[in-house]
Amino acid sequence: MPGPAMLYSIAQAVSGGKKVGIMAAFGLHIGGYFHVILAVLGLSSVLLANPSLYFAIQKLGALYLVWLGFQRIYLSKKLRITSCERNLTSPKRTFIDSVIVDILNPKAAIFYLAFLPQFVNEAGSVAVWLQLLILGVVTNLLFSSADLLSVLMASHLQKKFQARSNWVDFFSRWSGSIFILLGVMALVNSSYN
């Protein structure tokens, strides 16, 4: 079952095409390295130790997704009214938004903090921080590969329907709805301990 990052990348590819989808996956990939570095430095544990910080970052990330969704739906209507023939979002803007979406995902930080240490050999000849870094990079590459494959499949479908303006409008509204749904799910599932 696809996770939120994969759904986000697919929604970007469906509404904006292959280049936008690839930039979304790449932005999430770069954002993933932020969490890898936090885990290597041990800073992810700050989120575990400070529930109010975790809660605040989680809410901020969820609200950002909702804002992106409403923006996508609003721009879809605006483009329909002005009958512009350009994409809703540039690849550069998509990349920046994707990095922000991933950085504002505290569950990613917690994942790397919980997952990576399980495979570290403290008695090994390689420093623990380097083992964490290597494992984090490999894990991030695997996640990003799955996102990229999903983007390529979604953009193939998008290309088939691109000539039909009603489908382009539908895909724009659909992707905005996915963003809002992901944000609302994050808001509902977040808890303050």
* Phi-psi map region of 42: left, alpha, beta (phi>0 left; psi -120 to 50 alpha): left
| Structure tokens that stand for 106 in this block | 């505290």
pLDDT at residue 2, as a whole number: 64
**Tokens 């590459």 label which residue?**
141
| Structure tokens that stand for 13 in this block | 């590819």
pLDDT at residue 83, as a whole number: 41
* DSSP letters spanning 35-104: HHHHHHHTTHHHHHH-HHHHHHHHHHHHHHHHHHHHHHHHHHHHHHHHT--S-SS-HHHHHHHHHHHHHT
Tally of CB atoms within 10 A around 114: 12
pLDDT digits (tens, 9 = 90+) for 42-89: 877 787 788 888 788 888 888 988 998 888 888 766 555 444 444 557
pTM here is 0.77
pLDDT at residue 81, as a whole number: 44
Cα 37 to Cα 49, 70, 135, distances in angstroms = 18, 32, 11
> Given a cut of 60, is residue 18 above it in pLDDT?
yes
| Structure tokens that stand for 7 in this block | 């759904």
pLDDT digits (tens, 9 = 90+) for 84-125: 444 557 899 999 999 999 998 888 888 888 888 888 888 889
Domain boundaries, the chain: 4-188
